[in-house]
Amino acid sequence: MNLDVLLKRAGVNSLYPTQRVIIEQGLLEKGSFVLAAPTASGKTLAAEMIMNEELENGGKVLYLAPLRSLAYEKYEEFSHIFDEWKVRISIGDYDSSEEPLREYDLVIMTYEKFDSVQRHRSSWLSEISLLVLDEVHYVGDPHRGPTLEMAVSKFLYNNKYARRVALSATITNLDEISKWLDAKPIRVDWRPVPLRAGMFFDGTLIYRDGTTEPLSGRGVLPLVERSLRSGGQVIVFYNRRADAVSWAEKLAKKLNLKGRELEDLVDVLKLSAYSSSKLIDRLASVIRRGVAFHHAGLPFELRKVIESSFKRGDLRIITATPTLAAGVNLPARTVIISSYMRYDRTVGRIVPISVMEFWQMAGRAGRPRYDRYGEAFIIVNSERDVNMVFKRYLSSEPEPISSSLYDISQLRNHVLALISSQGYMGKDDLYKIFQKTLLFVQGGRRILERSLPYVLSSLEEEGFLIEDRAGYRATSIGKRVSELYVDPSSAYIMIQSVDELERRFNRSEALDLPVLQLIAMLPDMPRVSMLRGRRSILEEAAEEIEMLIPLEEAPISSLPELLQVTKAALSLNMWISGVSEGEIEEKLGVEPGDLRGLSETATWLCYAYSEIVRLLGKHKISDWLRKISMRMRYGVPEELLPLVSLKGIGRIRAKILYDRGYRTVKDIALSTSEDLEKLPGIGKKLSKELIDQARSVYHASTSN
Ligand SMILES: Nc1ncnc2c1ncn2[C@@H]1O[C@H](COP(=O)(O)OP(=O)(O)OP(=O)(O)O)[C@@H](O)[C@H]1O
Ligand SMILES: [Mg+2]
């Protein structure tokens, strides 16, 4: 389509400077660039112009976003705009090469998915002619950055001719990032909607330019009231989920807003699969009064529902954790950052949030189409901090982005992935690819010479690599580990446990808990919060579970960490026994969204464990672990597994069917839809579908 059609579909009359500059610099048809332009300045459309150009010329486009929620937002937008092209989002399962993606013209992925696809050496990667990196500052993130950095560097090495477009609002060292991507640096300092940033301390608003304005009171409430009075909507950021929830409750109680359509939204929650959860009850109760909290403890679908209701203006206030801060368009006139101090697990104390993060959160305010201006305030509670906050956040630039591949465990993971994805890798090639990294741009040859030899020899000692004179080869287990996307340290622990696992398996000892504990301690698993839940239960359990590997060899460095691991193991054990989310939350204090995160990761790790055990020739144990992985996926005891294999049957319906005597696919195939229809939660349509499904599965199995 030509540019006019594109603008029309994007609902835009004229270009913003952020977009014009691309044309002026001759970058529409060819060339690569890094666009550093403020939040809400229309960077997406700048990228869309290039994407359109590529698609028109028969190219293939890959668009990468850091978070699933952002990937979805973009997917929805692109499917509409690039209507005549085949658009696809791919963010799920890691262990597949996604060959079907070849059919698509525009694919949207998260960074992690991109990395995993590269590990599988998918051949369609070579057809990509444009790579778009949204929110590229994530490359500096200690957890997510290395994956992005390696995946992109590998891509740069293998796809020399593909164009590159990178976007971010917070790049201070634009020269380094551009050098890394071998792309033209472009900086635009223009924002369509003015954003006034300031701080609030004891009755006074102090703006960036030094002007002040009186506002009586302190803390969050006066600011929220001020914004609502002017007809705005508000996002308040909290560092801790518990604060987001309790403040949503305080605000709801104090303000008691009666929005339109809120009862409908409450109905959605009540009907959701999570309706048994206490957290959801609390959510429903604040939503009735125009406020919602938004954090990763809530299931993804529910977060989406909250976001759309806020966009429609039904909800007026969201209290959120910083996960809401990346690139999304929400109509907040006012953003409030309730605290600039946050507990950092890696250093074990509270530290100030980064300037980059402050500006990303602030940037959610004043989005075009929604507001004519935006404002962002940081709350200061002590006079002592006034100057510091002013200097640090309001009058300085975000920190430069620096490579996080300095981290050795990340480097190990990525070196193994690299070598195994190539089969064999010459020493020269290995160094050449690493010369494409940001690590190299920033640290030079010395940094590679210092870290790579150590990483390579440790991987060799653990049996994942073999070195010869000219290069490296991944062992079959090393290769599988990398394809399975597990950290080599996790895989090493799994391998260490196999003898003990086999010994107990052969004696038919109960193994669920020890296995789940092993899974829970792996570096790949998220650590659960210890804030809620009874310590005594955990201490007792920790004592009782017989570990599969000696404690000295476990990646657990303290008693609190052992309790965290135990907490995760116990909740997963309840999950695969079919216990409801509500009860797990009640007993162990693990919220449904967290439980989901734990069980998803554990599903994949149990699968990886089963694959590794299979490679070591222990087929029976491997089958058993595979079953655990399936139970983990659905949250069901073993006897319900046949039922959840049917589409439309999850843990709740499976239990209902089972209790009424439908225990196998055959039982269903031999019943009638009239019978099934009578069961709670099954209905006419589903019962017909179930019968059809069950009969075709059953007939297929009997005719063989
Ligand atoms: N030329 C334009 N005219 C009118 N509206 C526009 C134009 N370009 C973009 N917009 C709108 O501006 C809003 C913000 O754009 P976009 O999401 O691309 O911001 P961004 O620069 O990516 O910001 P962030 O750094 O926060 O991700 C969107 O709602 C978009 O539709
Ligand atoms: Mg954006």
What is the residue with the minimal CA distance to atom 25 of ligand 1?
39
Is there a contact between 210 and 248 (Cβ–Cβ < 8 Å)? no
What mean pLDDT value characterizes the chain?
Answer: 91
| Same domain (yes/no): 653, 576 | no
The pLDDT assigned to 571 comes to 96
Tell me the pLDDT band of 98, cut-offs 50, 70 and 90: low
Question: Distance (Å, rounded) from C-alpha 646 to C-alpha 641?
Answer: 9
| Same domain (yes/no): 457, 567 | no
Is there a contact between 331 and 311 (Cβ–Cβ < 8 Å)? yes
Is there a contact between 170 and 38 (Cβ–Cβ < 8 Å)? no
Tell me the pLDDT band of 245, cut-offs 50, 70 and 90: very high
Q: Which residue has the higher pLDDT, 284 or 530?
A: 284
Which tokens go with 662?
């439908």
What is the residue with the minimal CA distance to atom 1 of ligand 1?
15
Which tokens go with 130?
């444009």
642 in contact with ligand 1, CB cutoff 6 A: no
Find the DSSP H helices in 88-162.
Answer: 111-119, 145-158
Question: Distance (Å, rounded) from C-alpha 621 to C-alpha 376?
Answer: 56
Burial group, residue 322, by CB count within 10 angstroms (0-12, 13-18, 19+): middle
CATH for 610: 1.10.3380.30
**Ligand 1 centroid vs 42 CA: distance in angstroms?**
3
Has residue 526 been placed in a domain?
yes
Whether 679 has a pLDDT exceeding 50, the answer reads yes
pLDDT (tens digit per residue) in 429-464: 999 999 999 999 999 999 999 999 999 999 999 999
Atom index in ligand 1 nearest the CA of residue 364 equals 26
The pLDDT assigned to 391 comes to 95
Has residue 402 been placed in a domain?
no
138 in contact with ligand 1, CB cutoff 6 A: no
Is there a contact between 46 and 22 (Cβ–Cβ < 8 Å)? yes
Q: 464: number of CA atoms within 13 Å, CB side? A: 32
Please measure the distance between the N-terminal and C-terminal CA atoms of the chain and give it in whole angstroms.
52
Q: Which of 408-417, 459-468, 522-531 is the least confident region?
A: 522-531
pLDDT (tens digit per residue) in 32-41: 999 999 999 9
Q: What is the arithmetic mean of pLDDT over 638-661? A: 92
Ligand nearest the Cα of residue 10 is 1
User: What type of residue sits at position 661?
Assistant: G
pTM over 0.85: no
Pocket test for ligand 1, best of 8, 9, 20, 45 (most atoms within 8 A of CB): 45
Is there a contact between 646 and 668 (Cβ–Cβ < 8 Å)? yes
The pLDDT assigned to 348 comes to 52
370 in contact with ligand 1, CB cutoff 6 A: no
3-state secondary structure (DSSP) of residue 59: coil
Where are the strands (E) in 364-463, listed by range?
374-379, 424-426
User: What type of residue sits at position 298?
Assistant: L
Name, in order, each residue with C-beta under 8 angstroms of 191's C-beta and a sequence gap of 6 or more: 38, 39, 40, 41, 366
| Same domain (yes/no): 359, 507 | no
**Residue whose tokens read 């698609």:** 55
Q: 245: number of CA atoms within 13 Å, CB side? A: 16
Q: How many CB atoms lie within 10 A of CB 442?
A: 18
374 in contact with ligand 1, CB cutoff 6 A: no
Tell me the pLDDT band of 331, cut-offs 50, 70 and 90: confident
Name, in order, each residue with C-beta under 8 angstroms of 702's C-beta and a sequence gap of 6 or more: none
Ramachandran sector of residue 231 (left: φ over 0; alpha: ψ -120 to 50; beta: rest): left
Give φ, ψ of 445 to 5 degrees: -60, -35
| Same domain (yes/no): 269, 359 | yes
Partners of 164 in beta bridges: 131
pLDDT (tens digit per residue) in 333-356: 999 999 998 876 555 567 899 999
Pocket test for ligand 1, best of 9, 44, 324, 367 (most atoms within 8 A of CB): 44
**Ligand 1 centroid vs 128 CA: distance in angstroms?**
25
Has residue 536 been placed in a domain?
yes
**Ligand 1 centroid vs 187 CA: distance in angstroms?**
16
Number of residues in the chain: 704
Strands 341-344 and 106-110: unpaired
Q: What is the arithmetic mean of pLDDT over 612-624? A: 96
| Same domain (yes/no): 433, 334 | no
Is there a contact between 452 and 430 (Cβ–Cβ < 8 Å)? yes
Q: Which residue has the higher pLDDT, 485 or 57?
A: 57
Q: How many CB atoms lie within 10 A of CB 678?
A: 9
Ligand nearest the Cα of residue 364 is 1
- Given 464, 483, 502, the domain boundary residue is 483
Question: Distance (Å, rounded) from C-alpha 652 to C-alpha 681?
Answer: 9
What is the residue with the minimal CA distance to atom 5 of ligand 1?
12
Ligand nearest the Cα of residue 71 is 2
Q: Which residue has the higher pLDDT, 186 or 71?
A: 186
Q: What is the arithmetic mean of pLDDT over 655-671? A: 92
Whether 258 has a pLDDT exceeding 50, the answer reads yes
Question: Distance (Å, rounded) from C-alpha 292 to C-alpha 306?
Answer: 7
Angle between helices 145-158 and 438-461 (to 10 degrees): 100
**Ligand 1 centroid vs 328 CA: distance in angstroms?**
10
| Same domain (yes/no): 531, 653 | no
Question: Distance (Å, rounded) from C-alpha 538 to C-alpha 566?
Answer: 6
| Same domain (yes/no): 419, 567 | no
CATH for 475: 1.10.10.10
Q: Which of 40-54, 158-172, 517-531, 596-610 is the least confident region?
A: 517-531
Whether 688 has a pLDDT exceeding 60, the answer reads yes
Has residue 321 been placed in a domain?
yes
16 in contact with ligand 1, CB cutoff 6 A: yes
Has residue 337 been placed in a domain?
yes
170 in contact with ligand 1, CB cutoff 6 A: no
- Tell me the three-class secondary structure of 574-600, residue by residue: HHCCCCCHHHHHHHHCCCHHHHHHHHH
Has residue 403 been placed in a domain?
no
| Same domain (yes/no): 602, 566 | yes
**Ligand 1 centroid vs 70 CA: distance in angstroms?**
14
C-alpha dihedral (103, 108, 111, 112), degrees to nearest 10? -60
Which tokens go with 529?
């919060």
Question: Distance (Å, rounded) from C-alpha 81 to C-alpha 98?
Answer: 24
Q: What is the arithmetic mean of pLDDT over 295-300? A: 84
**Residue whose tokens read 């696919």:** 665
**Ligand 1 centroid vs 10 CA: distance in angstroms?**
10
327 in contact with ligand 1, CB cutoff 6 A: yes
Question: Distance (Å, rounded) from C-alpha 438 to C-alpha 432?
Answer: 13
Q: What is the arithmetic mean of pLDDT over 236-258? A: 92
**Ligand 1 centroid vs 542 CA: distance in angstroms?**
51
What is the residue with the minimal CA distance to atom 10 of ligand 1?
42
Has residue 401 been placed in a domain?
no
Tell me the pLDDT band of 95, cut-offs 50, 70 and 90: very low
CATH for 697: 1.10.150.20
Torsion sign over Cα 375, 381, 384, 388: negative
Tell me which H or E stretch contains 460. Answer: helix 438-461
**Residue whose tokens read 């054990």:** 573
Q: Which of 150-154, 340-344, 651-655 is the least confident region?
A: 340-344
Is there a contact between 472 and 427 (Cβ–Cβ < 8 Å)? yes
| Same domain (yes/no): 265, 364 | yes
Chain center to CA of 533: 25
369 in contact with ligand 1, CB cutoff 6 A: yes
| Same domain (yes/no): 371, 414 | no
- Sheet (strand 334-337) strand order: 212-214, 204-207, 195-201, 374-379, 334-337, 234-237, 317-320, 291-294
CA distances from 386 to 122, 167, 363 (A): 53, 32, 22
Pocket test for ligand 1, best of 41, 138, 168 (most atoms within 8 A of CB): 41
Whether 94 has a pLDDT exceeding 50, the answer reads no
Where are the strands (E) in 499-565, listed by range?
none
Whether 158 has a pLDDT exceeding 80, the answer reads yes
CATH for 75: 3.40.50.300
Which tokens go with 59?
């190219």
**Residue whose tokens read 């005719």:** 703
Has residue 400 been placed in a domain?
no
Whether 643 has a pLDDT exceeding 50, the answer reads yes
Number of structural domains (the chain) is: 5
Ligand nearest the Cα of residue 81 is 1
| Same domain (yes/no): 225, 319 | yes
42 in contact with ligand 1, CB cutoff 6 A: yes
Torsion sign over Cα 464, 468, 473, 475: negative
- Given 154, 187, 220, the domain boundary residue is 187
**Ligand 1 centroid vs 436 CA: distance in angstroms?**
31
368 in contact with ligand 1, CB cutoff 6 A: yes
Domain boundaries, position 201? 195-394
**Ligand 2 centroid vs 459 CA: distance in angstroms?**
38
Q: Which of 184-193, 436-445, 583-592 is the least confident region?
A: 583-592
Whether 7 has a pLDDT exceeding 90, the answer reads yes
- Given 438, 468, 483, the domain boundary residue is 483
Question: Distance (Å, rounded) from C-alpha 262 to C-alpha 285?
Answer: 10
| CA Rg value for the chain | 27
Strands 61-65 and 204-207: unpaired
How many contiguous H segments (helices) and E segments (strands) does the chain have?
30, 20
Q: If we measure between CA atoms, which residue out of 284, 283, 285 comes closest to residue 294?
A: 283
Quickly list DSSP for 616-649.
Answer: TT-HHHHHHHHHHHHHHHHT--GGGHHHHTSTT-
| Same domain (yes/no): 225, 88 | no
**Ligand 1 centroid vs 368 CA: distance in angstroms?**
7
Which tokens go with 398?
């975000």
Find the DSSP H helices in 288-403.
Answer: 300-312, 355-362, 383-389
